[in-house]
Copies of this chain bind each other. A is one copy, B any other.
């Protein structure tokens, strides 16, 4: 029986998960791939850190570069994380040495994916990264292999478990953002420094990778418009609920009628009974639309030691079965440039304005909206003690379908005309 020789760089949560899977299910795995799996070596920053998994049985390497150069390694699994530094170095080294690479590192692929995939192709080896997006959900494989004959028109992803947990908790428990964040941290669904997640960058990394595969475009993370969830208040969530919506942080990319692809990360109002809105807590989900398959949605755990390691293992299965798909579903020389483009779509919008409690305010709103050709589907004056103290009232509006420029200008003008000191919340609605 042939042997696959594996080197593992990084023994944090996911790295230990991979070892645990190999411990628990080795016989069945080797039987399925009809090959032996040999761990040639492991390495991490600190050998003696307390770990849940025993690592004494595996050859230890102090130097990760040495492991990625080792001729006894066929497949290098990079689980260090970070978009540059040691992760980039070991991956580059391994590819140049004609070793296959598996990585769970979304930041690395979002930033250096084009270069690394090109390098892999030149050296006639594979770089695989199912675990980089949405944990255990097989979304990379689905887009690359299963839906590949289609023209994809849209991807909507709940791609960050931290944000989804926080938004769910705000809605279910009626708590504000900070309380929900704290409970997410207590439960291990949020990092101690959650900036990267709650500001939307993690979602953007994942979206950049998915968009590239879906539309056969180069990975372009830098040009994604990113908006996180830190400005979402409990009052927005309650108002949205009144209107029959839930707020979710979505990574969205769409192929527009003009052929251009927009990529945005933003809080979005989704109809409460839509499939995506019902994906709660720390779960992830990806909804894709294609011209032949219509609509598919995949739901599952978007993070966690074993779910993510399970996807690392699926990449190892692919290598064992000599799967020959290009990393992004098409060889990199055929990828089109992915240029930032503006949305030409029309959407309804949810607005929460904070305006002086004087007569004429409502008229001012409707007049200004009308001057931008925006009808109002609903306008509701809310109650807020805090605002009352400032002599301001929160007003929520559901606009009719319009473009993003018009709505922004209209809101800006309303705010100016009414001398409001507070920035309004503008959230897109996907119906």
Q: Which residues of B contact A68 (CB under 8 A)?
A: none
The answer to whether A330 has its CB under 8 Å from any CB of chain B is yes
Asked if A212 is at the interface (CB within 8 A of a chain B CB), the reply is no
Q: Find out whether the CB atom of B31 lies under 8 angstroms from the CB atom of A334.
A: yes
In the complex, which residues of chain B have a beta carbon less than 8 angstroms from the beta carbon of A293? 135-136, 300-301, 306-307, 310-311
Q: Which of A286-336 contact B (CB under 8 A)?
A: 290-301, 304, 306-307, 309-311, 313-314, 316-318, 321-326, 329-331, 334
Q: How far in angstroms is the closest Cβ of chain B from A193?
A: 26
Interface size class of A (residues with CB under 8 A): 35 or more
Integer count of this chain's copies in the complex: 2
Say yes or no: is A29 at the interface (Cβ < 8 Å to chain B).
yes
User: In the bound complex, do residue B292 and residue A146 qualify as a contact, i.e. CB atoms below 8 Å apart?
Assistant: no
Contacts of A29 in B (CB 8 A): 148-149
Other-chain contact of A330, B32, B130, B275, B307 (Cβ < 8 Å): B32
Q: Are B314 and A148 touching (Cβ within 8 A)? A: yes
Which residues in B have their C-beta under 8 angstroms from that of A146? Answer: 130, 138, 141, 311, 314
Q: Once the chains are docked, how many angstroms separate the CA of A331 from the CA of B31? A: 9
B-binding segment of A20-28, A101-109, A235-243, A406-414 = A20-28
A278 within 8 A of B: yes
**Residue A400 interfacial (CB < 8 Å):** no
A147 to B25, CA, bound (A): 12
Interface secondary structure of A, over-half rule: mixed
User: Does A6 belong to the interface (CB within 8 Å)?
Assistant: no
The chain B residue sitting closest to A278, CB to CB, is B278
Tell me which residues across on chain B come within 8 A of A294, comparing CB atoms. 136, 300-301, 304, 306-307
Of B31, B130, B297, B310, which is within 8 A of A298 by CB? Answer: B297
Query: Cβ of A326: which chain B residues have Cβ within 8 Å of it?
Result: 32
Q: Judge if A145 is at the interface, Cβ distance under 8 Å.
A: yes
Residue positions of A touching B, CB distance < 8 A: 17, 21, 24-25, 28-29, 31-32, 34, 130, 135-138, 141-142, 145-151, 216, 273, 275, 278-279, 290-301, 304, 306-307, 309-311, 313-314, 316-318, 321-326, 329-331, 334
10 pairs, CB–CB < 8 Å, chain A vs chain B: A28-B216, A136-B292, A138-B146, A145-B314, A145-B317, A275-B299, A278-B278, A293-B307, A296-B299, A317-B325
What are the 4 A-B residue pairs with the smallest beta carbon separation, nearest first? A138-B146, A136-B293, A149-B313, A296-B300
